[in-house]
């Protein structure tokens, strides 16, 4: 079945460009030029994903997420020209799943869309083995192999790796990672997290300025870069 | 007390009518009363006393009281002190001669004295007028608001001429609130005009003392003329400053526009060329098509960076470039910036070295990313292709210091101050609005840090910026100081 994406933007050229690009890649695209239309479409149509501009006439983007989140956990990616950290944090707090600033490349947008969709579908049981190009993570045996060689990780490092690798492509905020790895009592110890990310990168032979596994979203969090190799993800969906 | 910022000046006001009457009558009457009880008054002594009375009357009251006093003295001398006494009849002819000699002498003395007094007072008034005007000119050019200066001048006039109220209005100042209680009655109006232009008027309420004398009138008119000239001078100098400022601003604008035009139109031109060639051109090979598309993408990205810098300039000017700071690791920002700029590097070697001590700093990551982007982009733009670039961060307890080392031509010492100014591009002519360093500097300064350029010991330039860690220690100190002061 074709995935149904709602694109919300008040700029008709932007709407056209994104619609064409997504249609060409097999998505079914619905369009809305303002917040009201977006909300009513989201209420009646069976959607898989929303791409939402923040600067909308009438109901503003943040407000749209807020109202949508009242009854739906439909994945939402913000596409906006606003690039300040404040805006990003505000959008994520309001319930957006990811944030991509205009201008953006189609490749990047498609990767983000796949990432939030994957999580939305995947909430159930994880794969027994995550396979990426050159890296294998055996979730049951808690075993990690880099280029076929076993990598020795501390339990915390392993939990961090697992939290990241099971959410490929998705923006993982400091708070989310801290609570996932260290527990619900944590959330502000981002320097602690940074230390472990650095160690993990070293053990996975990653170069932060040309990353293979983990990219940094400064001030926000991290992203597990590679998408799973096709043979490991095809099984469940 | 005469001070430079006050118009109040000591001044002997012209004698009033009452004072003149009293002076003319009282002085001879006093001498008469003094001399009558004498049993055997000596006429020469009494005559000398009457001359003294005339002198006093002329000095205090002026010419007319002097003459009146002379006549009264003459009559008194005749009636009381010349035999036969208590008549205006004079027995001895020599007494008659003496009496008339006295009259002529005393009138001449009175007139001479009063004209000397008048000349002196006129000179004083001229001097005062000059001082008033001098002070007015100084204050008008001092940058003080003209309204305030005019109010001060009006008060000065009131004091000098003993007026009840005075107002000065001009075509280019706002109306001032009356400094004293509004005077009743119709004011006398004095036009202010300079070089044939009517520039305002002075309104004078004389008040209780009646009318202005012709002399005062002419002094006030001449003051008004000079005031008008001074005001016109001030207006012209203000106008000139405005014109100069406009010229300077428009030069800056011209520089900005030519820079912006170049930086925006160049990538747009490349994009248009590539797109139109793809649309209209004959069948391209896959490689050629790819190349055109790459051009479009690269130039669009370049345009994006130019627009970001321009937006920062606009924010800077609007005072909206406010940092949203969160504790962050500088190496993470450096890594992500470099990762993002990777397509620009073109096989160039760029390494990051971070000291172990690098602490967390409270920064706006988007802004610091912009600083790093500008520095790395400059290093790439102004140095030979494939020459290495290094990013080094070292820290201590006070903050971090980030340096971008390149191996290009370096920055001559004399240009090092200038390059952080907007629209400067050093000596090398390469595209760029020259805003990048100015914006970067503004961002770093906004974070409480500083930025400078020095020599790379290996050859080339080293751009360094320092960011203090911790959240505004200075304001903490201020509040501590306030605490201890209250204790």
Helix, strand and coil content of chain B, in percent to the nearest 5, comes to 60, 15, 30
Residues 6+ apart with CB under 8 A from B287: none
Roughly what angle, to the nearest 10 degrees, separates helices B93-141 and B214-280?
10
Instruction: Please judge whether A218 and B332 are an interchain contact, meaning their C-beta atoms are less than 8 angstroms apart.
Output: yes
**CA atoms in the 13 A half-sphere facing the CB of B172:** 16
- Specify the pLDDT at position A159: 93
Q: In chain B, which residues have their Cβ closer than 8 Å to the Cβ of A215? A: 336, 339
- Specify the pLDDT at position A236: 39
Q: Identical fold at B143-319 and B326-475? A: no
- Specify the pLDDT at position B259: 67
Under 8 Å between Cβ of A10 and A34:
yes
pLDDT per residue of chain B (487 residues) written in tens, 0 to 9: 333 444 554 455 555 677 777 777 888 888 888 877 766 667 788 888 888 888 888 888 888 888 888 888 888 888 888 878 888 888 888 888 888 898 899 899 889 988 888 888 778 877 877 777 777 777 766 667 777 778 878 877 777 777 788 888 887 776 655 545 555 677 788 888 887 888 888 888 887 667 777 777 877 888 888 888 878 877 787 788 888 877 766 766 666 666 677 778 878 888 888 888 888 877 788 888 888 888 888 888 888 878 887 777 777 766 666 777 888 888 888 988 898 888 888 778 888 888 876 678 888 888 898 899 989 988 888 888 888 999 999 988 788 999 999 998 888 888 787 777 765 544 444 445 567 788 888 888 888 899 999 999 888 899 999 998 765 433 333 333 333 333 3
- Specify the pLDDT at position B401: 92
Which CATH number, 1.10.10.10, 1.10.1040.10, 2.130.10.10, 3.10.20.30, labels domain A129-233? 1.10.10.10
Would you list the domain boundaries of chain B?
A: 17-122, 143-319, 326-475
- Specify the pLDDT at position B354: 85
Under 8 Å between Cβ of A8 and A38:
yes
Q: Provide the 10 A C-beta neighbour count for residue B260.
A: 17
Under 8 Å between Cβ of B90 and B82:
yes
Tens of pLDDT, residues A152-211: 999 999 999 999 998 888 889 888 899 999 988 887 777 888 889 989 999 999 887 788
Q: In chain B, which residues have their Cβ closer than 8 Å to the Cβ of A210? A: 338-339, 342
Q: Euclidean distance between the first and final Cα of chain B, in Å? A: 43
Beta-strand relationship, A129-132 and A171-173 = unpaired
CATH architecture, domain defined by A4-122: 3-Layer(aba) Sandwich (3.40)
Would you list the domain boundaries of chain A?
A: 4-122, 129-233
Q: In chain B, which residues have their Cβ closer than 8 Å to the Cβ of A86? A: 324
> Distance between CA B314 and CA B317 in Å, rounded?
5
Identity of the residue in A85, A103, A216 whose CB atom sits nearest the CB atom of B335: A216
Under 8 Å between Cβ of B62 and B20:
yes
Instruction: Please judge whether B327 and A194 are an interchain contact, meaning their C-beta atoms are less than 8 angstroms apart.
Output: no
Under 8 Å between Cβ of B341 and B377:
yes
- Specify the pLDDT at position B319: 65
Q: Which of residues 98-117 of A touch B (CB under 8 A)?
A: 103, 105
- Specify the pLDDT at position B428: 41
Classify domain B326-475 by CATH number. 3.30.565.10
Sign of CA dihedral B95, B96, B97, B101: positive
User: A86 and chain B: CB distance < 8 Å anywhere?
Assistant: yes
User: A123 and chain B: CB distance < 8 Å anywhere?
Assistant: no
Question: B164: which 2 tokens?
Answer: 């009840």
Residue carrying structure tokens 């190496």: B331
Best residue in B301, B328, B338 for a mutation probing chain A (most A CBs within 10 Å) = B328
Instruction: Please judge whether A216 and B369 are an interchain contact, meaning their C-beta atoms are less than 8 angstroms apart.
Output: no
Q: How far is A83 from chain B (nearest CA, A)?
A: 8
DSSP B339-377: HHHHHHHTT--EEEEE-TT--EEEE-HHHHHHHHHHHHH
> Distance between CA A5 and CA A98 in Å, rounded?
15
- Specify the pLDDT at position B423: 56
Question: B200: which 2 tokens?
Answer: 């305002």
Model ipTM value:
0.70
**Domain B143-319 top-level CATH class:** mainly alpha
Tens of pLDDT, residues A53-111: 988 888 888 899 999 998 888 999 999 888 777 888 888 888 899 999 888 888 889 98
Nearest CA in chain A to B302: A103
Q: How far is B444 from chain A (nearest CA, A)?
A: 17
Question: What are the distances in angstroms from CA B140 to CA A73, B132, B202, B203, B481?
Answer: 70, 12, 17, 20, 41
- Specify the pLDDT at position B254: 67
Our separate counts of H helices and E strands in chain B read 11, 10
**CA atoms in the 13 A half-sphere facing the CB of B341:** 26
Tens of pLDDT, residues A126-150: 568 888 888 999 888 888 999 989 9
């Amino acid at each position: 079945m074709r995935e149904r994406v709602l694109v919300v933007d008040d700029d008709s050229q932007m709407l056209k460009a994104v619609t064409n690009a997504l249609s060409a890649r097999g998505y079914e695209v619905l369009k809305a030029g303002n917040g009201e239309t977006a909300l009513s479409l989201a209420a009646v149509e069976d959607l898989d994903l929303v791409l939402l501009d923040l600067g909308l006439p009438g109901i503003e983007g943040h407000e749209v997420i807020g109202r949508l989140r009242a009854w739906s956990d439909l994945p939402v990616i913000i596409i906006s020209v606003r690039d300040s950290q404040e805006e990003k944090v505000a959008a994520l707090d309001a319930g957006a799943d990811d944030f991509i600033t205009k201008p953006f490349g189609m490749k990047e947008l498609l990767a983000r869309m796949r990432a939030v969709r994957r999580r939305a579908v995947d909430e159930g049981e994880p794969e027994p083995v995550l396979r990426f190009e050159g890296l294998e993570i055996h979730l049951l045996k808690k075993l990690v192999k880099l280029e076929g060689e076993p990598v020795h990780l501390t339990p915390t490092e392993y939990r961090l790796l697992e939290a990241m690798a099971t959410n490929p492509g998705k923006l993982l905020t400091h708070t989310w990672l801290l609570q996932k790895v260290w527990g619900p009592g944590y959330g502000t110890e981002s320097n602690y997290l940074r230390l472990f990310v650095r160690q993990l990168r070293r053990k996975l032979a990653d170069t932060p300025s040309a990353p293979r596994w983990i990219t940094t979203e400064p001030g926000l969090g991290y992203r597990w870069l590679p998408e799973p190799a096709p043979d490991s993800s095809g099984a469940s969906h | 007390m005469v001070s430079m910022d006050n118009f109040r000046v000591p001044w002997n006001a012209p004698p009033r009518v009452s004072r003149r009457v009293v002076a003319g009558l009282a002085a001879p009457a006093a001498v008469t009363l003094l001399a009558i009880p004498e049993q055997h008054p000596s006429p020469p002594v009494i005559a000398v006393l009457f001359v003294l009375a005339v002198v006093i009357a002329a000095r205090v009251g002026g010419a007319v009281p002097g003459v009146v006093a002379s006549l009264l003295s003459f009559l008194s001398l005749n009636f009381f002190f010349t035999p036969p006494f208590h008549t205006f009849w004079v027995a001895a002819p020599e007494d008659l001669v003496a009496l008339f000699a006295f009259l002529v002498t005393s009138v001449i003395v009175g007139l001479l004295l009063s004209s000397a007094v008048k000349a002196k007072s006129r000179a004083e008034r001229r001097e005062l007028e000059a001082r008033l005007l001098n002070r007015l000119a100084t204050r008008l050019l001092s940058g003080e608001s003209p309204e305030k200066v005019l109010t001060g001048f009006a008060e000065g006039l009131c004091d000098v001429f003993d007026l009840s109220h005075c107002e000065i209005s001009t075509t280019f100042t706002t109306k001032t609130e009356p400094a004293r209680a509004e005077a009743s009655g119709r004011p006398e109006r004095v036009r202010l005009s300079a070089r044939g232009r009517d520039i305002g008027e002075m309104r004078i309420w004389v008040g209780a003392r009646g009318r202005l004398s012709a002399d005062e009138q002419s002094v006030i008119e001449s003051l008004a003329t000079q005031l008008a000239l001074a005001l016109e001078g001030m207006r012209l100098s203000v106008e000139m400053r405005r014109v100069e400022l406009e010229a300077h601003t428009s030069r800056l604008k011209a520089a900005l526009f030519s820079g912006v035009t170049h930086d925006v139109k160049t990538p747009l031109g490349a994009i248009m060329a590539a797109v139109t060639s793809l649309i209209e051109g004959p069948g391209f090979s896959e490689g050629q098509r790819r190349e055109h598309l790459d051009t479009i993408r690269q130039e669009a990205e370049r345009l994006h960076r130019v627009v970001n810098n321009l937006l920062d300039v606009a924010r800077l000017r609007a005072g909206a470039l406010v940092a949203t700071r969160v504790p962050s690791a500088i190496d993470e920002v450096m890594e992500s910036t470099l990762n993002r700029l990777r397509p620009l590097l073109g096989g160039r070697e760029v390494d990051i070295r971070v000291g172990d001590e690098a602490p967390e700093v409270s920064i706006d990551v988007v802004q610091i990313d912009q600083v790093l982007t500008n520095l790395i982009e400059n290093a790439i733009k102004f140095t030979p292709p494939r020459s290495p670039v290094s990013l080094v961060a070292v820290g201590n307890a006070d903050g971090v210091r980030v340096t971008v080392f390149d191996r290009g031509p370096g920055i001559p010492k004399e240009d090092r101050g200038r390059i952080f100014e907007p629209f400067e591009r050093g000596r090398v002519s390469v595209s760029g609005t020259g805003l990048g360093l100015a914006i970067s500097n503004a961002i770093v300064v906004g974070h409480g840090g500083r930025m400078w350029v020095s020599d790379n010991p290996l050859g080339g330039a080293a751009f360094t910026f320092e960011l203090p860690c911790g959240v505004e220690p200075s304001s903490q100190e201020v509040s501590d100081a306030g605490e201890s002061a209250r204790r």
